[in-house]
Amino acid sequence: MSKNIIEVSQENFVELIIKGSEKLPVVVDFWAPWCSPCKQLTPILEKTATSFQDKIILAKINIDENQSIAAQMQIQSIPMVYAFFNGQVVDGFQGNIAESEVVDFFKKVSKLSGPSPEISEYLEELKNAISNTAWKEALKFSDLILDIDQNNIDACYGKVRSLIELQKFKEAKEIMSVLPKEILNEKKMQDLNLNVDIAENAFKASKNILDFENVLKKNPKDIKAHIDLSNALFGEGRIADCYSLLINAIKIDPEWNNQEARKKLLSFISSHDLTSEEAKRARRQLSSILFN
How far, CA to CA in Å, does 150 sit from each of 15, 54, 114, 166, 242?
27, 9, 15, 22, 36
Is 35 marked active-site?
yes
**Which position among 38, 126, 160, 269 bears the catalytic label?**
38
**Which position among 8, 16, 17, 35 bears the catalytic label?**
35
The sheet with strand 26-31 has its strands ordered as: 5-7, 57-62, 26-31, 80-85, 88-94
How far is it, in rounded angstroms, from Cα 189 to Cα 221? 37
**DSSP class of residue 238?**
-
Is 242 marked active-site?
no
3-state secondary structure (DSSP) of residue 30:
strand
- What string of DSSP letters covers 62-129? ETTT-HHHHHHTT--SSSEEEEEETTEEEEEEES---HHHHHHHHHHHHTSS---HHHHHHHHHHHHH
* SS3 assignment for 171-234: HHHHHHHHCCHHHHCCHHHHHHHHHHHHHHHHHHHHHHHHHHHHHHHHCCCCHHHHHHHHHHHH
- Active site amino acids: 35, 38
